[in-house]
Amino acid sequence: MLSHNITLDNKSISKLSSRGLSLKALKDQLEHELELSLELWRAQGLNVIKHQGSFYFDTKFIPIEEAEFCIVDIETNGSKIEKHQIIEIAAVKVKNKKIIARFDSLVYVKEINPHITEITGIKPEDTKDAPSLKKVLKDFRLFLDDAIFVAHDVKFDYSFISKSLEKIGLEPLLNRSLCSLALAERTVQSYRYALSYLNDALNLNPNATHHRAMSDVLTTYGLFLLSLENLNEEIVTVEDLIKFSKEAPRLKRPKFDPLLKVQN
């Protein structure tokens, strides 16, 4: 099996998402022939297409309402990929603001730190009949396909899943990603942006059980919908949205925590 991490530099990635990359500039950075590279990337969730002589991420041309977003959350038995693993993973696929598919599974694990059990409520015995990490990740990879990977503080979930795929012998993720926390900072005014705080402030998921994967996914889904409602009309495509989430000015936070007034 050909191993194929993306080798493009940041400048090229920026061009693929905006004004396009020339054939020569793309070929100069490829490990394999162009067609094979595009096929390998596609298998890892990234579609690069040719348009008017230049190459782009297809998300440059996909309107937000036509795109598939996959909102993901994982629970792990520790933060270090070298010695810890995913113990629960959940996701919903969203198209035109509606949930069109769901994925939810515990993962078999021998040991869970008592501190993690205290946070999540998941005990090792809860996972004794759950599928193996390999089975769950293979199924999740098929579920995710080429959707845009969305998570609250996306870097952790994306990186942990991608590295976990490599640990079981699969290719890492190349899907375009979107951070719901970064997007919220630019579309929803709040004193804090932790998911539990946002849920308390905005009642995004009335039945939330914080630190359980599907519950956190549904809370993030509520936040994602709110962020989309607050976008200005210039944000049309997926790449517009990703760029906005990274570069637009953050909203000014209130000086005082409004929830403290409610509690007092």
| The pLDDT value given to residue 69 | 98
Residues with pLDDT less than 50, the chain: 1-4, 264
State the Cα torsion 157-163-169-173 to the nearest 10°.
60
CATH fold of 64-247 reads Nucleotidyltransferase; domain 5 (3.30.420)
| The pLDDT value given to residue 6 | 61
| The pLDDT value given to residue 108 | 98
Spatial contact of 215 and 207, defined as CB atoms under 8 Å apart: yes
Helix (H, G, I), strand (E, B) or coil at 217: helix
pLDDT digit string (tens) for 171-201?
Answer: 999 999 999 999 999 999 999 999 999 999 9
Strands of the sheet containing 98-106, edge to edge, are 98-106, 86-95, 68-76, 148-151, 177-179
CB atoms closer than 10 angstroms to residue 256: 9
| The pLDDT value given to residue 2 | 40
| The pLDDT value given to residue 8 | 80
| The pLDDT value given to residue 9 | 87
Residue 33: exposure state from Cβ atoms within 10 A (0-12, 13-18, ≥19): exposed
For residue 44, give both structure tokens. 């890892």
Whole-structure pTM value: 0.95
Numbered ranges of CATH 3.30.420.10 in the chain: 64-247
Three-state secondary structure string covering the chain: CCCCCCCCCHHHHHHHCCCCECHHHHHCCCCCCHHHHHHHHHHCCCCEEEECCEEEEHHHCCEHHHCEEEEEEEEECCCCCCCCCEEEEEEEEEECCEEEEEEEEECCCCCCCHHHHHHHCCCHHHHCCCCCHHHHHHHHHHHHCCCEEEECCHHHHHHHHHHHHHHCCCCCCCCCEEEHHHHHHHHCCCCCCCHHHHHHHHCCCCCCCCCCHHHHHHHHHHHHHHHHHCCCCCCCEHHHHHHHHHHCCCCCCCCCCHHHHHHC
| The pLDDT value given to residue 39 | 95
| The pLDDT value given to residue 263 | 55
| The pLDDT value given to residue 52 | 96
End-to-end CA distance of the chain: 61
| The pLDDT value given to residue 222 | 98
